[in-house]
Amino acid sequence: MKRQLSDSVYEFQTPDGDFDVELVFFHGLCFSEYADAYETTWRVEDGIEGTRCWLRDLVPKTFPGARILAVSYDSCARVSDRAGRMSFSNLGIILVQDLIHLAKVGQRNRPVVLVGYCLGGLVIKQLCTEAERQLDYSPDGASKGRLDQFLTNVRANVFLDTPHAGTDLAKYLKKKEKCDGPVLEYLDSSSASLGHLNSNFESLATEREWEPFSCWYFRKTLVWSSVKLSNSGLQVVQEESARRGQGRFFCVDADHSGKASSGRRQLEQPLDQLEGFVADVVSKTKLPH
């Protein structure tokens, strides 16, 4: 049964008693609405079994001993009176509070795996670097303890078609759709802010010995969210942008449609790969008895 733990965090599963891993999912870029993206990003329309959701229907079967959470945040490309105004710096501060201090992720000495789709991968980087910044400067001993526990227990980061080096979609949305949301700055390949975020995160990941896991959706996209692209389609994320950094990498025969899954193959292939990766992460972690 899904329950809301804070303004930004929803829990889809927590086993009775203890759990052996925490899996935290971050949705991607939205066009004008984001309120349900924490769940709809992970849905697939399956002609055989109808609508299914990774976090509700599949991940709990694959990881029955996992605590499964999803994060909601303003990731809108278009500015309106209700959305599209959130800066990345403020987003990091909010998610540190909601995920670490309120939802208490990373506080049970269990491995934490952060899973981000599209922009969600960059949000993971912002969350982690903000947690490290607050750890260095916070005078509050209890707060520092929670931040340190979180960063210590993060074991891996999973990036699903994340444009680490930017994407042409940002330019397309700015020019063709007149979008001007501040999150688009972090999707622009020439952005100094994106370069700064990558540099800070990569230093932190090396220091903490986090293992990255990345995949690339290699089909061209004709429709992203509610935006129709050119007839020839758009390669939303280039392979070199999805590959940035060391670690495990694989390709998915699917397109970047604004959802993490849009068909049976796109649903099952990443989950199969993720299952083996998370099992390996857990096996490498010495859990207390």
Q: Compute mean pLDDT per 10 residues along the chain, 289 residues long, and list them.
A: 94 92 95 90 73 87 94 94 90 97 96 95 98 89 93 94 93 90 92 95 95 90 84 91 84 84 63 80 68
Residue 109: predicted pLDDT: 92
- Is 289 inside any structural domain? no
Q: Which domain holds residue 192?
A: 3-284
Please tell me the distance from the alpha carbon of residue 29 to that of residue 270, in angstroms, as a whole number: 19
Residue 289: predicted pLDDT: 44
In the Cβ-directed half-sphere of 100, how many Cα atoms lie within 13 Å? Answer: 28
- Is 42 inside any structural domain? yes
- Indicate the SS3 state at residue 255: strand
Q: How many domains does the chain have?
A: 1
The C-alpha R_g of the chain, in whole angstroms, comes to 18
Residue 191: predicted pLDDT: 92
- Say if strands 43-46 and 154-160 run parallel, antiparallel, or are unpaired: unpaired
What is the sign, positive or negative, of the torsion defined by CA atoms of 26, 28, 31, 37?
A: negative
**Assign residue 84 a region: left if phi > 0, alpha if psi is -120 to 50, beta otherwise?**
left
Which residue spans within the chain are E strands per DSSP? 3-4, 9-13, 21-26, 43-46, 50-53, 66-71, 112-117, 154-160, 211-219, 223-224, 227-228, 248-255
**282, containing H or E segment:** helix 264-284
- Is 217 inside any structural domain? yes
| Six-digit token string for 105 | 């992720």
Which residue spans within 47-131 are E strands per DSSP? 50-53, 66-71, 112-117
- Indicate the SS3 state at residue 9: strand
Residue 153: predicted pLDDT: 96
- Is 64 inside any structural domain? yes
CATH number of the domain to which 182 belongs: 3.40.50.1820
Residue 141: predicted pLDDT: 84
Q: Phi, psi (5° rounding) for residue 285?
A: -100, 125
Residue 223: predicted pLDDT: 87
User: What per-residue string of b and e applies to 148-181 under the rule 16 or more CB within 10 Å gives b?
Assistant: ebbbebbbbbbbbbbbbbbbbbbebbbeeeebeb
Output the furthest CA–CA distance in the chain (Å, rounded): 57
Residue 147: predicted pLDDT: 97
